[in-house]
Amino acid sequence: MDAPQAEKIAAQALTTAEVGRARRANWFRKYQIGLVVVDLLVATVAVALSFTFRFGTVVTSTDAKFYLVLAALFPLGWVAAIMLNRAYEARFVGVGSAEFQRIFQAFLQMTAIVAFASFVTKADLARGFVLVALPLALVFNVFGRYGARKWLHRQRGRGRALTSVLVVGDAAAIEEFTSMVRRDQYAGMRVVGACVPAELVVDEATITALETIEVPLLGDVDSVRSAVSLSDADTVAVVSSGALGPEKLRWISWQLEGTSTELVVSPGLTEVAGPRLHVRPVAGLPLLHVEEPEFDGFRRVLKGAFDRFVAAFALLLLSPLFIGLAVAVRMGSTGPALFRQVRVGRDGSRFMMLKFRSMYADAEDRLAELSEQSDHSDGLLFKMRNDPRITRVGKFLRKYSLDELPQLINVLNGSMSLVGPRPPLPGEVERYEVHVHRRLLVKPGVTGLWQVSGRSDLSWEESVRLDLRYVENWSLSEDLLILWKTARAVTAGAGAY
């Protein structure tokens, strides 16, 4: 085959790949349109309710007609604000809290614009109209986006609406990236192939590693363009740029120009979230600035105030339930209603954690004889799916995490937080590896990422990974999201034993 024919076949293959990518991209365009429709509808409903609240259902006055025009323009302004905050972009949609943060930013900006316009024009806007329309639009929009996200997650759980990814790097980095993508099915990524440095293409260990994780090896780094064509990939992910060098990374970007294929580069900092990462160009070189985790300061004070307010309110509201559960525990078996246990808190301090007793009174004495039957042989945790020490009432309490409710008292006295790492036992802490001690930089939580990501079904390594991710990247908005997910996880009753 001569060179012109080879180039023609390669061009045809690339065209076919582009058609495939365009076909798959079509689902996201439809999803974007759906989001615009949702945003328009919720803004329309919000402003309609606000107008009715302020003026009623009959429009007679001149002022009411002015606000009717304003109400008609409000949904368009709302969508424009969301668009300016880039909440329709693929990278912010479907995963994480960034999508909801951008909706909130749009709300703040519209509120500021309305206030500024009212001040400049000296217009006497009806407060009852404005103060109802904007907050309602925010609340309705969050629920609307949440519903759209759950639909998208269901599609991705069925293997649809996925982005095909070609991974470039060494075998270890490819294996780690693939494992993380497969673990989080809602991320919407599917690894379809790999390219490795030229010297590793014939390396037996590399070939075996990729075969083990069932990722086809499609050539070396110089074959990226043809590998994209063969795998029909939407995205190329470079996961070990240090091994490739800056010149090769730039060459890859040149090869992908005009192919509609996205290029993403992993900085190699696992579990460090976007808000802590900033690109700072210096002398033409983009440097990645990594901010320190925030363990003190105003945000921490705000988190503490929020924790104690919610805990006090919940204790007051749930006091009848507390009394009922305490009676049920006492009637179910002999012993106290509350179980007290020493746990390790922030900076290694110890405190007495409270729970409703879910086991028989001699449970601690029987632990040694059951230690070999733990379902978590890979770590420090003792978890047993059919633990004979658990009472009949205790099984119900554990299934719905009702035994954890007294920990609200720990939140109120400041020894725990609503959201944080799992509170460890002193014996566990004594056997921690060095990096695991970072869990103790923040207060332990009644719930956390471990609670909404599998509960007792998680392995020790996975539990540590989630706790460290929270410690490194915590935020109040993330706390609110975890609390919301906790309610769903507890209601489902899965993964608790």
Tell whether 328 and 394 lie within a shared domain: yes
Q: How far is Cα 1 from Cα 49, in angstroms, rounded to an integer?
A: 71
Cβ of 142: how many Cβ atoms within 10 Å?
A: 17
Strands (E), 239-317: 262-265, 277-282, 285-290
Q: Give the residue carrying structure tokens 């240090």.
A: 242
Domain boundary among 222, 250, 268: 268
Tell whether 197 and 129 lie within a shared domain: no
Q: Give the residue carrying structure tokens 């109209």.
A: 129
Tell whether 172 and 135 lie within a shared domain: no
Total tally of structural domains belonging to the chain:
3
Distances (CA, A) of 62 to 13, 65, 120: 65, 5, 22
Indicate whether 371 belongs to any domain. yes
Residue 21, CB half-sphere, CA atoms under 13 Å: how many? 22
Indicate whether 365 belongs to any domain. yes
Do 192 and 164 touch, CB atoms closer than 8 A? yes
Q: How far is Cα 357 from Cα 334, in angstroms, rounded to an integer?
A: 10
Indicate whether 281 belongs to any domain. no
Tell whether 75 and 183 lie within a shared domain: no
CATH number at residue 239: 3.40.50.1980
Give 116: exposed, middle or buried? Use CB within 10 Å, 0-12, 13-18, 19+: exposed
List beta partners, residue 288: 279
What is the pLDDT tens value at each position of the chain, 497 positions in all? Answer: 444 444 444 444 445 445 555 556 678 888 999 999 999 999 999 988 887 877 666 655 556 677 778 888 889 999 999 999 999 988 788 877 788 889 999 999 988 888 787 777 766 666 666 778 889 999 999 999 999 998 998 888 888 888 899 999 999 889 989 988 888 878 888 999 999 998 898 889 999 999 999 999 999 998 999 999 888 898 999 987 666 777 888 889 988 888 888 898 887 666 666 566 667 776 666 777 677 777 778 888 999 999 999 999 999 999 999 999 999 999 988 889 999 999 999 999 999 999 999 888 776 766 666 665 555 555 566 666 667 788 889 888 988 889 999 999 999 999 999 999 989 999 889 888 888 898 999 999 999 988 787 655 667 777 888 888 888 888 888 888 889 888 877 776 555 54
Indicate whether 207 belongs to any domain. yes
Do 84 and 97 touch, CB atoms closer than 8 A? no
Q: How far is Cα 394 from Cα 325, in angstroms, rounded to an integer?
A: 10
Do 343 and 424 touch, CB atoms closer than 8 A? yes
Tell whether 77 and 186 lie within a shared domain: no
Indicate whether 252 belongs to any domain. yes
Q: What is the pLDDT of residue 211?
A: 93
Indicate whether 423 belongs to any domain. yes
Do 224 and 200 touch, CB atoms closer than 8 A? no
Tell whether 342 and 411 lie within a shared domain: yes
Q: How far is Cα 104 from Cα 475, in angstroms, rounded to an integer?
A: 15
Tell whether 244 and 339 lie within a shared domain: no
Tell whether 462 and 333 lie within a shared domain: yes
Which long-range CB contacts under 8 A does 457-461 form with residues at least 24 apart?
457/494, 457/495, 458/495, 459/376, 459/378, 459/379, 460/376, 460/378, 460/379, 460/380, 460/381, 461/378, 461/379
Tell whether 360 and 339 lie within a shared domain: yes
Rg of the Cα trace of the chain?
27
Q: Give the residue carrying structure tokens 């119900």.
A: 396
The boundaries of the domain holding residue 24 are 3-157
Domain boundary among 136, 157, 178: 157
DSSP H or E segment with residue 167: strand 163-168
Q: Which one, of 241, 234, 222, 254, lies nearest residue 286 by Cα?
A: 241
Strands (E), 331-424: 338-344, 350-356, 417-419
Indicate whether 289 belongs to any domain. no
Tell whether 331 and 444 lie within a shared domain: yes
* CA 202 distance to own-chain centroid: 38
Q: What is the pTM of this model?
A: 0.69
List beta partners, residue 264: 237
Q: How far is Cα 373 from Cα 383, in angstroms, rounded to an integer?
A: 9
Q: What is the pLDDT of residue 22?
A: 57
Q: What is the pLDDT of residue 3?
A: 45
Tell whether 382 and 481 lie within a shared domain: yes
Q: What is the pLDDT of residue 11?
A: 47
Q: What is the pLDDT of residue 373?
A: 58
Domain boundary among 157, 185, 210: 157
Indicate whether 280 belongs to any domain. no
Tell whether 333 and 429 lie within a shared domain: yes
Give 25: exposed, middle or buried? Use CB within 10 Å, 0-12, 13-18, 19+: middle
Q: What is the pLDDT of residue 380?
A: 60
